[in-house]
Amino acid sequence: MQRGAAGKRGVRFDLLTILLVEDNQHMRILLIEMLRAIGVRHIHEATDGAEALDTMRSTTIDVVLTDLSMSGLDGVDFVHLLRRSPDSPNPFCPIVMITGHSTERRVREARDAGVNEFLAKPITARGLVHRLTLLIENPRAFVRAGDYFGPDRRRRDDPRYQGPRRRAEDASAFYLDDLDSERGHPTRRM
């Protein structure tokens, strides 16, 4: 299979319009070169979240790549505004959070803001292609639960999970008359 514009598994990266939000000029140049190498032709740049929101109000963006830590409006605050603000230009836009701060606390904070994927620094072309391919080939449904709005945090239904099923859409996947009395939650009928 041909790589480049078609990328991994036939994904047409050349059709994407990507917004790159990064305050470090050297990192922006590196990411732009990686994106061009995999075939992305339409790349917009912003140096912070406020500039990114302005760009998204005037340009249709397919995917946002944003750094977590930036001066001005940082990545987490930007994602919060994009997902939850009443005047958001596109609350459903897929977002890849790029970070050199991959501590559990920082990853959880970004996840809870509503990012779709993470990409840890140092960035590789392989990692970038993998995250973009996941966004395109395996999009996750969006959920609204309490103060969270964003992609479903569950990537798959884990048959080993023994805890309660708390989401409204889970009821459609289970027959509520088949309550498992020991665990106190619905069980699947096979």
pLDDT value at residue 33:
97
Would you give per-residue pLDDT tens digits along the chain (190 residues)? 334 445 545 789 999 999 999 999 999 999 999 999 999 999 999 999 999 999 999 999 999 999 998 988 999 999 999 999 999 999 999 999 998 877 888 888 888 999 999 999 899 999 999 999 999 998 988 998 888 899 987 765 666 767 766 655 555 443 323 333 333 333 333 3
Q: Which among 150, 138, 97 has a CA at the least distance from the CA of 119? A: 97
Please report, as a single letter, which amino acid is at residue 159.
P
DSSP-assigned letter for residue 17? E
Is residue 67 classed as helix, strand or coil in its secondary structure? strand
Structure tokens at 18: 């990507």
Which sign, positive or negative, has the C-alpha torsion 131, 135, 138, 140? positive
Structure pTM?
0.77
Query: What topology is assigned to 8-151 in CATH?
Result: Rossmann fold (3.40.50)
In order of 57, 97, 140, the CA distances from 104 in angstroms are 32, 14, 22
The CATH 3.40.50.2300 portion of the chain extends over: 8-151
User: For residue 104, how many other CB atoms are within 10 A of its CB?
Assistant: 7
- Under 8 Å between Cβ of 88 and 120: no
Which parts of 27-91 are beta strand (E)? 42-46, 63-67
